[in-house]
Structure 1
Amino acid sequence: MTGPSLPPNAREIEDAVDEALHGLELDPDETAAILGFANEELPHLQTPETSYYVLGSYRDPYVRRLRTVENELNKRLGAYAFVMGDLQEIGLDRLPEFRIRFHLLASYADYVVGVYEQDAGGEVTELGKISETPYFDKSYVLPRDYCWMTSANFDGKPDVVAAAMTISYNADLTDDEKADKLESLVVEAQETGIDVSKQELSDAVSEREDNDTVSYSWVHLNEFRLFELHDRCQPWVGESELRDAVGIVPKPRTHPEWEDK
C-alpha cells in the first residue's frame, strides 16, 4: 500500500510539526499519518475563502456559544469557519496529537478566534498558544464577563456588569471585600457617566445561575488585557452580545491583515 502523496507545501508542514514537537524525530508511519491529515484538511484552508479557526470548549453549555461564533462567521460571504473537533484525527499513539493538529491548523488559518467562559479546560492551553508568536497577530479573543478593572475601560453598562461578575465570583475575596469593591465599582462607573446602581449590579449577579458563572485567574485576565490593548478583544455578557462581538473579527478580504506585517 502506498503512503499519502507528498503535498506541495510539505516543507512548511514539516516546519509546523517540528515547532509543535520541538524537533522530535518522527517514525515513518507517523510522518505518513500526518501527511494524510494535511492532505485531507489543509486544502480547505488554502482556498480564496478566508478561514477562521474557532477555539473554545466542546462541553455543554459552552459548546453552544462556540457554535454560535462559528455560525456567525460562516454567514459571511467568502468565509470558512471551523472547529478542530469536526476534523479527522491523525491517529498517533506515541505523539501529542492535539499539539500537532493545533499548530497545523493555526498555521494555515487566516484568523484564529477564541471564545472563553472559564479558566479551566483545553481552551486555556490554547489561549497561551495564541497569545505568543507566531499566532498572536492573527488571533482575536471573545471572553465572557471580562473587564479590565479600571473605570477608563468602561464603555457602557455591560462592561460594568462584567466587572461586577468578576468581583462577585472571585474566590480569593471575602464577602466584605466583594461588597467594598462593588461599592467602588458603582462610584467609578457613575463618574464616567454610566447610570448604574449597586442594586442593579446585585440583581444582575443573582440572576446568573450558579452553574453559569465565569471566574478567571489573574493570568487569564492579563492575557485578555494584552489582546484588548491591541484592539483584538471583545467581551460579552449574553448570547446576543456574543453575536455582535464577532464583528471585531475582520471580514473576508483578499489578504488577511497579519500577512502584511
Structure 2
Amino acid sequence: MTDPGPPPNAAAVMEGVNEALQGIELEPHETSEVMGFANRELPHLHTPEDSYFVLGSYRDRYLRRLRIVQNELDKRLGTYPFLMADLPELDIDRLPVFRIRFVLLATHADTIVAVYEQDAGGEVTELGKISTTPYFGSSYVLPRDYAWMTERNFDTEADVIAAAATIYFNDDLDEPTTEDELDSLVATAHENDISLTTSEIIDRLQSREDGKHAPVSYSWVHLNEFRLFELHDRCFAWSNPDDLRDAVDEVP
C-alpha cells in the first residue's frame, strides 16, 4: 500500500456524519471518536491505489466468499480492497455506529462491491443504500443464483446455471417435466451462443458446495434492485466460487 494521503477535512467528515445521523448532535467525546476513526482509516482511501469497499454477510460460510472477492481484487496492481469487519469499531454506545462507519467508508472508497447469497441480514440495508445516490454510480452487485427470467438475459453460463437451479431444485416438478424444462433452457442458451448441455448443467448443480443444493431465493424487492444494477451493466451473477472469481474480473 502506498503512503496514505491527508485525511479529508473535519468539516467534510462531520457533514457525512450529520447525513448518517439525520442531524443528531454529537457529544464532545463522540466527535473525538469519530474524528479518530476518520484520521486512521480514510487516508488509506486517498492514495493513488484503487480502493474497493467489499460488502456482504460476515457469517462464516458467507464470509469465505467475501474473502474470495477481496483476494481477487488484491491480486490487481495498485488496489486496496477492504471489509468493514477488518477495521476498528467506534467506541460509542449511544449512536448507530454502523451508519457512521458505512457513510464515511462508502463516500471515500472508489468502488463498492457487494456480494449476495440470501435475502435476509444486514445486506438488505446495504443494498438499499448502494442502490441510491450518491453510492449507486460506484457500486457493483454480485448476487448468487440471480437470473432475471427473460431469454435475452442469458448472456453468460452463470445466467443459465442460475435459471437452471430454479428448475432442477423445484420440488413441484416431476422428473420428465424437469428434463423438458432444462432441455428448453439449453435450447435458449444455444440461441445465445452459450454451449452447455443438459448433462453438464446437472453435473454443475449436483456439485454445488456447502451441501445446500437449493438455489438462493430472493424477494421481489431484491430482484428489482439487482435488475436495476444489471441494466447499468453492474450486476454479475455467480453460482460457485469459480463463477464468483469470474464475476470479480468483470468489476473495473
TM-score by length of 1: 0.82
Question: In structure 1, how many angstroms separate the alpha carbons of the residues matched to 2:62 and 2:36?
Answer: 31
1:64 alignment partner AA: R
Helix, strand or coil for the counterpart of 2:60? coil
Structure 1, residues 103-138: CA drift from partner, whole Å, max 9, x if none? 110001011111111112212211111010000000
2:81 alignment partner AA: A
1:107 aligns with 2:107: yes
Question: In structure 2, how many angstroms separate the alpha carbons of the residues matched to 1:192 and 1:243?
Answer: 23
1:219 alignment partner AA: V
1:58 alignment partner AA: Y
Helix, strand or coil for the counterpart of 2:238? coil
Task: Sort the Cα spacing of 1:204 and 1:147 in 2 relative to 1 into closer, same or farther, 3 A.
Answer: same
2:83 alignment partner AA: V
Q: Which runs of 5+ in 2 are unaligned?
A: 1-6
215, 235, 238: which is aligned to 1:236? 238
Q: Tell whether the 8 Å contact from 1:166 to 1:216 is kept in structure 2 after alignment.
A: no
1:145 aligns with 2:114: no
2:153 alignment partner AA: N
Report which stretch shifted further, 83-92 or 216-225: 216-225
Identity %: 63
Question: In structure 2, how many angstroms separate the alpha carbons of the residues matched to 1:22 and 1:166?
Answer: 41
1:60 aligns with 2:60: yes
Structure 1, residues 143-170: CA drift from partner, whole Å, max 9, x if none? 1221211111112433211112245567
Question: In structure 2, how many angstroms separate the alpha carbons of the residues matched to 1:26 and 1:187?
Answer: 61
Name 1:93's counterpart in structure 2: 93
1:237 alignment partner AA: S
The structural deviation recorded for 1:19 is: 1.2
Q: Tell whether the 8 Å contact from 1:50 to 1:78 is kept in structure 2 after alignment.
A: yes
The structural deviation recorded for 1:84 is: 0.2
Q: How does 1:82-231 map to 2 (within 5 A)?
A: 82-167=82-167, 174-175=172-173, 179=178, 182=182, 185-196=185-196, 200-208=200-208, 209-210=211-212, 213-231=215-233
Name 2:69's counterpart in structure 1: 69
Question: In structure 2, how many angstroms separate the alpha carbons of the residues matched to 1:213 and 1:43?
Answer: 40
Name 2:4's counterpart in structure 1: none
Q: Tell whether the 8 Å contact from 2:165 to 2:214 is kept in structure 1 after alignment.
A: no
Task: Sort the Cα spacing of 1:148 and 1:39 in 2 relative to 1 into closer, same or farther, 3 A.
Answer: same
Helix, strand or coil for the counterpart of 1:80? strand
Name 1:254's counterpart in structure 2: none
Q: Tell whether the 8 Å contact from 2:205 to 2:213 is kept in structure 1 after alignment.
A: no
Name 1:257's counterpart in structure 2: none
Q: Which runs of 5+ in 1 are unaligned?
A: 1-6, 251-261
The structural deviation recorded for 1:190 is: 4.4
Name 2:44's counterpart in structure 1: 44
The structural deviation recorded for 1:196 is: 4.5
Name 2:249's counterpart in structure 1: 247
The CA RMSD measured in Å over matched residues stands at: 2.4
Helix, strand or coil for the counterpart of 2:140? strand
Q: Tell whether the 8 Å contact from 1:52 to 1:82 is kept in structure 2 after alignment.
A: yes
